[in-house]
Structure 1
Amino acid sequence: MAFLDDFLDHLRLDSVAADHFQGETRYMIAANHIYGGQVMSQALSAASQTVAEGRYCHNYAVQFLRGGRTDAPIDFWVERVKDGRNFSVRRVLAEQGGKKLLSLEGSFHIEADGLERQQHCDNTVGPENLRDLASYKADFAARNQMGLYDFLVTNNILEFRCQEMPSYIESRDRPAAQKMWVRAKYPLATDQNLQRILLAYISDHNFLRTATLPYRSQIEIKPFQFASLNHAMWIHRPINLNHWHLFDVTSPNAYGQRSQVMGHFYNESGEMVATAIQEGLLKALTADEVVPFSNTV
């Protein structure tokens, strides 16, 4: 459980002063670059710590401004935009070494009863009938991606099961859609602030990769640059990541070096608990543009 505590500590942040928080940068996805979902979830954590008890995030929107490094902490500055009878709004700016990494604006709402309906997910295979991502270790090794494997499996409190070949190791062109189950490896508190912060962390996992699936044969032979540009999430129902959740993702559009992906999270009962949308850069690089950190999604 020490690993779980360590993982959660970097999401909770330290309070530096009123509306000023600081976070560790322990978990990298490659080279010296921080996983964008970490900074996003930390920004949501900072906002959540300034909101009255009983109000939980139902929507946030993020602009990714610059990639973060692993060798310095990140400061989170919170602006209290609104505190109304039912809603609170917070704006967060994440900075590292004086450089802006990310901006987040989130809205928080009291739990209330109301009208209810949802879209259902079709053609789904249950997680008990799918391979754990850990079982693909040899495939990651064959592609010289053990650093990515360690990030996704060894150093992660989450476990994943993909309905199709995991996009991390996919080499065939296929439609821009994928289904992935996720849950926590260790028992988690059911506090909704924590659960929603973790869902923010998860929502950047394997998301933008969906847009690359029709072009995997090209990506195998030429360098591409990938980067998340913006991200938004709507949280519809309470979350409990102690149980399996399905992330059903499609990419409806790609144009002008930008691609969009959309995903819905469903719990084991088939209830839609959240919706996420992300736009990312997908750019074929020329020889003089190639950098070591190109193929990152």
Structure 2
Amino acid sequence: MLEVTRKLVELLDLSPTGDDHFQGDSEDLGFPNVFGGQVLGQSLMAACRTVEGRLPHSLHAYFLRPGNHSLPIDYEVQRVRDGGSFSVRRVIARQDGKEILTGAMSFQGEESGYEHQFEMPAVAGYDDLASESDYVARLMPHIPEKMRDKLDRERPIEIRPIDPVNPLKPEAKPPYKQSWLRAQGELPDDPVLHRCLLAYASDFTFLGTSLHPHGVTFMSRNMQVASLDHAIWFHRDFRMDDWLLYDKDSPSASGGRGFNRGNFFSRDGVLVASTTQEALIRQR
């Protein structure tokens, strides 16, 4: 496992602070606030620590306040129900006594049943694509100096976008976005960890799908962008240290909000997870 990936795994490894209470550190990715994917991944990990013999199959969360990446985050898990087939947990994330996220996670034991899925779209393979880090290196001379250190850092999640957008000179495009991604280095065989890492990674490049038709990015002047809510459904087992295709679209934007959907496919075409998100995309 690479050092940068090990640090991410440690970030998701929460410390118990009492009965069904946990604490996690924060990381600074160069955004003004805590990266939403970090809070999603840690919230899911906190809930998983209170369930035995069942894996998460869905997550629904609301971002209530921006988080401060210089402070730790406290997670309270509430045991809503343990039924014959499903368990439900409610999670509240707090900083400085204020709620920054509230969410619910549902867990299910292994079960067989009907099977069908969408086919994976035909896209360019990951071998022939440059990574986001490669694109950042090319843009570095044109990026404000105060942002260079954060953007140029080594990343635990390697992302290789298909048809990338220049964030400094965006052009209007249809509301579709695709990228290959994986964690750097080999990971332990822990399905909980792989689900929490997917929750973390699912917030990358998602919000921007609803900006595509409008020819703007999060770096455009006078743009206020933020994730409002986020949902994930885990369909089948997968590994985050193998390539996954993140296929995204945005059916609608209105009222200063953009709605985004996504599907994760393994490289052999298996649909492993689906996501939705509504985001604030406000022009000041």
Q: TM-score range by the shorter chain?
A: over 0.9
For 1:123-138, what aligned pairs fall within 5 Å after superposition?
123-138=122-137
Q: For residues 64-105 of structure 1, what are the alpha-carbon distances to aligned partners after superposition, in whole Å with 9 as ceiling and x for unaligned?
A: 001111221110000000111221100000000011100110
Contact 1:30 / 1:147 at 8 angstroms: preserved in 2? no
**Aligned position for 2:31:** 30
For 1:105-184, what aligned pairs fall within 5 Å after superposition?
105-144=104-143, 154-166=153-165, 168=167, 171-184=170-183
- TM-score w.r.t. the length of structure 2 is 0.93
What letter corresponds to residue 37 of structure 2 in structure 1? Answer: G
**Aligned position for 1:272:** 271
**Aligned position for 1:96:** 95
Contact 2:218 / 2:224 at 8 angstroms: preserved in 1? no
SS at match of 1:154: coil
For 1:36-115, what aligned pairs fall within 5 Å after superposition?
36-52=36-52, 54-115=53-114
**Aligned position for 1:189:** 188
Q: For residues 207-266 of structure 1, what are the alpha-carbon distances to aligned partners after superposition, in whole Å with 9 as ceiling and x for unaligned?
A: 001111111259776411111111111110001012100000000000111110000000
Relative distance call for 1:62 and 1:150 in structure 2 (3 A) is: farther
Determine what percentage of the aligned residue pairs are the same residue: 35
1:182, distance to aligned residue in structure 2 (A): 0.3
Give distance in 2, aligned partners of 1:275 and 1:245: 12
Relative distance call for 1:266 and 1:169 in structure 2 (3 A) is: farther
- TM-score w.r.t. the length of structure 1 is 0.89
SS at match of 1:30: coil
1:121, distance to aligned residue in structure 2 (A): 2.4
Give distance in 2, aligned partners of 1:2 and 1:160: 17
Alignment root-mean-square deviation, CA: 2.0
**Aligned position for 2:16:** 15
Give distance in 2, aligned partners of 1:169 and 1:240: 33
**Aligned position for 1:245:** 244
Greater Cα shift, 118-127 or 58-67: 118-127
Greater Cα shift, 255-264 or 120-129: 120-129
Give distance in 2, aligned partners of 1:18 and 1:5: 27
Give distance in 2, aligned partners of 1:98 and 1:157: 30
SS at match of 1:29: coil
Give distance in 2, aligned partners of 1:218 and 1:268: 28
Contact 1:153 / 1:159 at 8 angstroms: preserved in 2? no
Relative distance call for 1:159 and 1:153 in structure 2 (3 A) is: farther
Contact 1:171 / 1:220 at 8 angstroms: preserved in 2? no
Contact 2:136 / 2:151 at 8 angstroms: preserved in 1? no
SS at match of 1:238: coil
Give distance in 1, aligned partners of 2:183 and 2:218: 31
Structure 2 gap ranges (5+): none
SS at match of 2:215: helix
